[in-house]
Amino acid sequence: MQSTVKMMRSEAEIMSTFSIFKQLRPHLNEEDFLRLKKNNGFHLVAVVVGDKIKSAAGYRITESLAWGKYFYVEDLITDETSRGKGYASILWDYLITQAKLEGCAQFHLDSGVNRHDAHRFYLKGGLDISCHHFQVSL
């Protein structure tokens, strides 16, 4: 069956990705997920095979003094039962192409320090580890 990359715009389409995002962000609830994904210039895309979501990503196009106009991938996840089948690569190629089409100077994402498989994927995809991200919970 052929896979398609689809922009998820409607409430039903957005919510169809919730179970996959919950694998990456177990603290999420449906109400907050929908509110956050419908606001603030967030774009949600998914790899769909038949009626099944195999992989999904959320991104924003934004601007800063440090980086100019840039493409920021906030989330990138493949369903745990579909990993290793190329769905992340399909989505990755789509995201890189979108960043170029949007005229972004850079492509960014953050990844937890413990996500070694993801890091290998990002490095293979051409990303460099270019900074440290610091935080404090308040």
Residue-level pLDDT at 122: 66
| Residues 68/99, Cβ–Cβ less than 8 Å | no
One-letter amino acid of 4:
T
Residue-level pLDDT at 40: 75
98: left (phi over 0), alpha (psi -120 to 50) or beta: alpha
Residue-level pLDDT at 34: 86
Residues forming beta bridges with residue 104, ordered by sequence position? none
Q: What is the pTM of this model?
A: 0.82
Residue-level pLDDT at 71: 93
DSSP state of 32: H
Q: Collect the ranges in the chain with pLDDT lower than 70.
A: 111-116, 118-122, 127-128, 132-134, 136
Compute CA 38 distance to the chain's CA centroid, rounded to the nearest angstrom.
15
- All domains in the chain, ordered by first residue: 3-124 (3.40.630.30)
State the Cα–Cα distance between residues 95 and 109, nearest whole angstrom. Answer: 11
Residue-level pLDDT at 136: 58
